[in-house]
Structure 1
């Protein structure tokens, strides 16, 4: 009789034993960002501002229009619509600045970091960004060091400009994870 009880207990234990906890399905890796987010675009547009008539840049050297757009077709007397300015910005980001930044990153960037680096590149030019200490530090894994490089890009024509100090403060804040609105507020507060 004891053998029958032991057998029955063994069968019950087999069927009612605690199950191994199910393996959690690993969360799929987030895809790396591939362009400027609405937060990044808000920062760019806030600090760049939009002018629909061609004007000289801050150094008085380059004809500019729209959201800081330059090029051989930007000449004295050119006037565009707001829709044209928005389209020029979108095209130029996609053609020049997104690939110009993404192609030189050797480590993954989160969306906030990418937004900040793209705004910097848009403002200083892709070549200057690609040769920057900021990029070198970021690619070396020194995110704190890279963040501290933003304020260094505050001059135009050798002069420190309040507008660039504000924009770089916003870029730094975005790089460190602030939303677009928070970054703009940080930049705008610089005196």
Structure 2
């Protein structure tokens, strides 16, 4: 990056030549401004929200966890553990609790990365990010949702109101999704 115009502008504003200490301070400030932010990660509130609504369903007395059909469709996608879906998960799939926990950690990291990519440099608080990750974890819709566009535009109240539109599964309003979206909107607003 060519810093000459920045230094020239500062010299002009100060109406004096820059001292060595001024140059070091400006260089340091420019370097800090150019650093890429650390990748966003879902925080404890986001993890707790996902765990609360995904649940560890079908935990057997022997400690193993069985796959179950999607509540909205009664079939696909089959789910196991903390809401894991995908290839190899279907009727008869059984995992250990450790497998479920490891998959949750990996899925949360992947979804957090996708949310970070979708929102770009938009100012985002940790509660907002956590709510967006929970939403995306459940819907997979962060890249196409109006709430994402509203968040990026800085219309945080409008974005918070959009959560309530995502309560249908299998063509029906699902009470569990209504509760989840309310919790996500509350977290997004920083109210919990």
Q: Report the TM-score range of the alignment, normalised by the length of the smaller protein.
A: 0.7 to 0.9
Return the alpha-carbon distance in structure 1 between the equivalents of residues 182 and 106 of structure 2: 26
Report the counterpart of residue 141 of structure 1 in structure 2.
154
The runs of 5 or more residues in structure 2 that have no matched partner are 1-31, 58-64
- CA deviation vs aligned residue, 1:109-148 (integer Å, no higher than 9, x gap): 11000000000000001xx221010001111111110011
Q: Is the 8 A contact 2:135 2:142 kept in 1?
A: yes
> What is the match of residue 161 of structure 1?
174
Does structure 2 retain, via aligned residues, the 8 Å contact 1:97–1:121? yes
Structure-1-length-normalised TM-score: 0.73
Q: What count of residue pairs does the alignment treat as equivalent? A: 149
Return the TM-score normalized by structure 2.
0.73
Of 11, 34, 44, the residue aligned with 2:40 is 34
Alignment of 1:113-132 (within 5 A): 113-125=128-140, 128-132=141-145
From 102, 107, 110, the equivalent of 2:116 is 102
Q: Tell me, what secondary structure is at the counterpart of 1:65?
A: coil
Q: Is the contact made by 2:51 and 2:82 (CA closer than 8 Å) also made in structure 1?
A: yes
- Describe the superposition over 1:71-99 as per-residue Cα deviations: whole angstroms up to 9, x where unpaired: 112122111111111101101122x3011
* 1:57 partnered with 2:63: no
Asked if structure 2 preserves the Cα contact closer than 8 Å seen for 1:32 and 1:109, the reply is no
Aligned-pair CA distance for 1:108: 2.0
Shift of 1:42: 0.7
Aligned with 2:52 (options 41, 46, 55): 46
Aligned to 2:13: none
CA distance, structure 1, for counterparts of residue 81 and residue 99 of structure 2 = 8
